[in-house]
Amino acid sequence: MTQISLSPLRHLGVATSLALAIGIPALTQAAEPAPALNLPTENGSVSLSDLKGKVVLLDFWASWCGPCRQSFPWMNDMQAKYSDQGFEVVAVNLDQDKEAATEFLDQIPANFTIAYDTEGATPEAYRVMGMPSAYLIDRDGNIHSQHIGFHNDRKDSYEEDIRGLLSTAQN
């Protein structure tokens, strides 16, 4: 499969359209270590190493992303439903203008951690090919699965993956 370069981030719209048009499924292999992540939030910072032992849904989004508007309510539901079992949603905003992200969040609030990467280094490390892109990371910090876009007809499958990882023994 041809790898699409997303540097700089302005090419994400083209990559999103291409990825969705050809229906790219999960792209990662089991047990691939998740790249390091340490990003600012409104209340400090978030690091994947600090979340080891939890199942993490790492979501990349931007204010201009239509499917992101659909995914946020679902991620709020998942955070509320599974946080007591060691589940954490971290959504990384990629807008260069933080005000655009703030306007989005005023309209569609997030009840989970929002991190900011205006430079775009994190999506490059994760080889993000479209918006939104979500990575389900197991308790050991390995990428379990990935999906590009948000599809309402696949919410049950997404949730099944979360439940499956939560059912594994905690280290």
More confident residue, 74 or 20: 74
Compute the average pLDDT of residues 148-162. 92
Q: Which CATH architecture has domain 26-166?
A: 3-Layer(aba) Sandwich (3.40)
> Over the stretch 21-38, which tens digit does the pLDDT of each residue have?
334 344 444 468 999 999
Angle at 54 between CA 170 and CA 37, to 5 degrees: 135
> Over the stretch 52-67, which tens digit does the pLDDT of each residue have?
999 999 999 999 999 9
| Amino acid letter, 45 | S
Q: Kindly tell me if the per-residue pLDDT of 3 is higher than 80.
A: no
pLDDT score of 28: 41
3-state helix/strand/coil string of the chain: CCCCCCCCHHHHHHHHHHHHHHCCCCCCCCCEECCCCEEEECCEEEEHHHHCCCEEEEEEECCCCHHHHHHHHHHHHHHHHHHHHCEEEEEEECCCCHHHHHHHHHHCCCCCEEEECCCCHHHHHCCCCCCCEEEEECCCCEEEEEEECCCHHHHHHHHHHHHHHHCCCCC
Instruction: Give the closest residue to 55 by CA, choosing from 71, 79, 72, 30.
Output: 79
pLDDT score of 168: 83
Please, what is the average pLDDT of the chain?
84
**CA atoms of 72 and 78, how far apart (whole Å):** 10
Strand order across the beta sheet in which 44-47 lies: 32-33, 142-148, 133-137, 55-61, 87-93, 113-116, 38-41, 44-47
